[in-house]
């Protein structure tokens, strides 16, 4: 059955009881085929000496993962890893470890999905998270993370915690941040400390402990108002909305002749227009990453995220994503509360698509040095989204239109995702109606405190709503 001229290979394969590594090496000349350590399933059951050319009809009831291994000369050997069916139904890719990824803020909403996506790509994942009360409530342990994720509880501004988390890491995804446009306008020290000083502390440690690549979560908020065009097709990228003096004035920006400007998709080349402390802090995070990475032999990538939504978002945080805020209101029998007139347009992207963008940027050769918009490529009015969500939750209610604006908010900003699609192969997969139905199902099983009125009163007391 075996050819005498075949190249001998040792195959150690995994089965029921166990927790080790699989190794494949050329027994004739180990120096020409370096040992590979591939983390596989839950232990080792046995080993077999196999030869190039065969491995058919062995244990037909087992699943088989096939891959090719290059040998010293012209020879190729096809090695069969025989893997028992009962592997918790996990994608086989996660058992072949390639990089160790540190995700700061990894226990948060987006972080949990990114961690799962990284595991499925075969990476080892570690998260650093301070579990702040506004996001995680009174929990002292992470919730919703895959059990294969290593957790370090600590603040991104804590050098000792960062050093523990960075040990052995080969890439970093920096998500740790305070999030909320309105709150950032009065909790200035907190937002600047966590977002900007925290990023500075991270890079101070990376100077002495460099990694291959750093991804930072930036934000669509750095654009301020998005790109607009007038009736004649002229493009405006420097629109700044003036406060309304009377209720008769329009909410939309106007051109030189007093006609409403029309929002169009905003590409990455649009100049930033920082309208809030949050936007300012996210831009600093982005520029620190893209400035310091190449200076110290690392690769930096910035992803500008639009409005992410999906199961798992903090429902009791009144400064979280707008869909989670609406869901919390509806869950408590209250109508969604919308600032201005509800006709402001946004792009809502499912969190699984956000995670897809991160894993693409993590490994793609074209990503280093790049800035990429991450959205769905579709825009909707905020009122439309509120009504669709109320239908999905089977709680039909007419949104409460505040008729007032928050300082720091922008009118329209729509994502142009052409660059990330063309360069990284990103493709939004989640249909919006399907995503809302999924969110509604999840919300129905949760408990949520409706703190929207308290947050609004806080803003009004500080003169930030007009």
Q: From CA 128, how far away is CA 356, in angstroms rounded?
A: 21
pLDDT at 27: 35
Residues 148, 123 share a domain: yes
**Does residue 189 share a domain with residue 212?**
yes
Task: Say if residues 32 and 89 touch (Cβ distance below 8 Å).
Answer: no
Q: What is the model's pLDDT at position 3?
A: 38
The last residue of one of the domains, among 46, 68, 94, is 94
Say whether both 272 and 360 belong to one domain.
Answer: yes
User: Residues 221, 278: contact at Cβ < 8 Å?
Assistant: yes
- Given a contact cutoff of 8 angstroms between Cβ atoms, the answer to whether 270 and 223 are in contact is yes
Give the residues of the chain that fall short of pLDDT 50. 1-89, 92, 94-95
* Number of neighbouring beta carbons within 10 Å of residue 46: 9
Query: Which has the closest alpha carbon to 329: 314, 346, 313, 316?
Result: 316
Query: Is residue 399 included in any domain, yes or no?
Result: no
Does 221 lie in the same domain as 366? Answer: yes
Q: β-strand 235-236 against 379-381: which pairing, if any?
A: unpaired
Residues 255 and 351 placed together within one structural domain of the fold: yes
Is residue 240 located within the same domain as residue 116? Answer: yes
**Is residue 358 assigned to a domain?**
yes
Domain that holds residue 354: 97-314+347-383+410-430
Q: What is the pLDDT of residue 137?
A: 66
- DSSP readout, 21-88? EE-EEESS-GGGS----EE-TT-EEEEEEEETT---SSSTTSEEEEEEEE-SSS-EEEEEEEE-S-ST
Please check whether residue 393 lies inside any domain of the structure: no
Same-domain pairing of 307 and 375 = yes
Q: Which pLDDT belongs to residue 322?
A: 87
φ, ψ (nearest 5 deg) of residue 39: -65, 120
Q: What is the pLDDT of residue 141?
A: 65
Taking the C-alpha atoms of residue 451 and residue 172, their distance in angstroms, rounded to an integer, is 34
The tens digit of pLDDT for each residue in 394-419 reads: 999 999 999 999 888 999 999 999 99
Position 321 in a domain: no
Domain count, the chain: 2
Q: Which two tokens stand for residue 100?
A: 């160790």
Assess if residue 440 is contained within a domain.
no
Return d(Cα 306, Cα 266) in angstroms, integer: 11
Report which of 235, 230, 240 is spatially closest to residue 261, judged by C-alpha positions.
Answer: 230
Q: How many CA atoms lie within 13 A of 201 on its CB side?
A: 20
Does the predicted TM-score (pTM) go above 0.75?
Answer: yes
User: Tokens 């007139």 — which residue?
Assistant: 341
Are 389 and 331 in contact by the 8 Å Cβ rule? The answer is no
Do 76 and 128 sit in the same domain of this protein?
A: no
**H-helix segments, 254-342:** 277-295, 322-331
Do β-strands 228-229 and 38-39 pair in parallel, antiparallel, or remain unpaired? unpaired
Whether residue 291 sits in one domain with residue 248: yes
Same domain, yes or no: 123 and 80: no
Q: 261 and 132 in one domain?
A: yes
Structural domain includes residue 342: no
Residue 138 resides in a domain? yes
CATH number of the domain residue 292 falls in: 3.40.50.720
Last residue of a domain, one of 64, 94, 124: 94
Q: Are 425 and 360 in contact (CB under 8 A)?
A: yes
Residue 294 covered by a domain: yes
- Quick one: 62 and 130 in the same domain? no
For residue 88, count CB atoms less than 10 angstroms from its CB and return exposed for 0-12, middle for 13-18, buried for 19 or more. exposed
Rounded to 5 degrees, φ, ψ at 303 are -110, 120
Last residue of a domain, one of 78, 94, 110: 94
Query: Beta-carbon neighbour count of residue 363 at 10 Å?
Result: 15
Q: What are phi and psi of 304, to 5 degrees?
A: -90, 105
């Amino acid at each position: 059955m075996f050819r005498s001229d075949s190249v001998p290979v040792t195959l150690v394969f995994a089965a029921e009881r166990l927790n080790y590594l699989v190794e494949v090496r050329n027994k004739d000349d180990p120096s020409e085929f370096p040992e590979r350590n591939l983390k596989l399933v839950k232990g080792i059951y046995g080993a077999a000496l196999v030869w190039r050319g065969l491995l058919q009809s062995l244990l037909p009831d087992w699943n088989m993962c096939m891959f090719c291994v290059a040998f010293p000369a012209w020879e190729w050997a096809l090695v069969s890893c025989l893997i028992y069916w009962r592997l918790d139904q996990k994608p086989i890719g996660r058992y072949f470890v390639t990089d160790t990824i540190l995700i700061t803020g990894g226990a948060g909403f987006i972080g949990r999905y990114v961690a799962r996506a990284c595991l499925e790509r075969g990476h080892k994942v570690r998260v650093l998270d301070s579990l702040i009360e506004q996001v995680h409530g009174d929990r002292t342990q992470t919730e919703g993370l895959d059990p294969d994720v290593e957790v370090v509880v600590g603040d991104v501004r804590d050098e000792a915690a960062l050093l523990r988390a960075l040990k052995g890491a080969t890439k970093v995804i920096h998500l740790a941040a305070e999030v909320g446009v309105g709150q950032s306008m009065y909790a200035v020290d907190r937002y600047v400390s966590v977002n900007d000083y925290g990023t500075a502390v991270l890079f101070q440690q990376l100077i002495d402990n460099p990694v291959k690549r750093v991804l930072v979560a930036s934000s669509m908020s750095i654009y301020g108002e998005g790109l607009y065009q007038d009736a004649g097709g002229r493009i405006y990228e420097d629109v700044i909305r003036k406060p309304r003096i009377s209720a008769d004035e329009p909410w939309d920006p106007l051109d030189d002749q007093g006609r409403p400007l029309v929002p169009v998709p905003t590409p990455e080349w649009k100049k930033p227009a920082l309208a809030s402390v949050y936007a300012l802090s996210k831009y600093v995070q982005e520029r620190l990453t893209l400035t310091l990475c190449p200076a110290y032999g690392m690769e930096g990538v910035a992803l500008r995220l639009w409005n992410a939504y999906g199961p798992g978002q903090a429902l009791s945080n009144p400064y979280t994503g707008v869909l989670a805020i609406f869901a919390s209101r509806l869950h408590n029998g209250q109508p969604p509360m919308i600032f201005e007139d509800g006709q402001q347009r946004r792009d809502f992207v499912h969190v699984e698509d956000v995670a897809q963008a991160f894993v693409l940027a993590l490994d793609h050769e074209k990503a280093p040095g790049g800035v990429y918009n991450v959205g769905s490529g579709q825009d909707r009015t905020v009122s439309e989204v509120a009504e669709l969500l109320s239908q999905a939750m089977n709680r039909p209610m007419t949104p409460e239109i505040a008729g007032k604006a928050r300082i720091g908010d922008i009118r329209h900003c729509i994502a142009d995702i052409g660059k990330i699609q063309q360069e990284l192969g990103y493709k939004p997969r989640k249909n919006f109606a399907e995503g809302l139905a999924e969110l509604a199902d999840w919300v129905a099983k949760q408990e949520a405190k409706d703190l929207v009125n308290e947050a609004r009163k806080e803003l009004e007391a500080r003169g930030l709503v007009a």
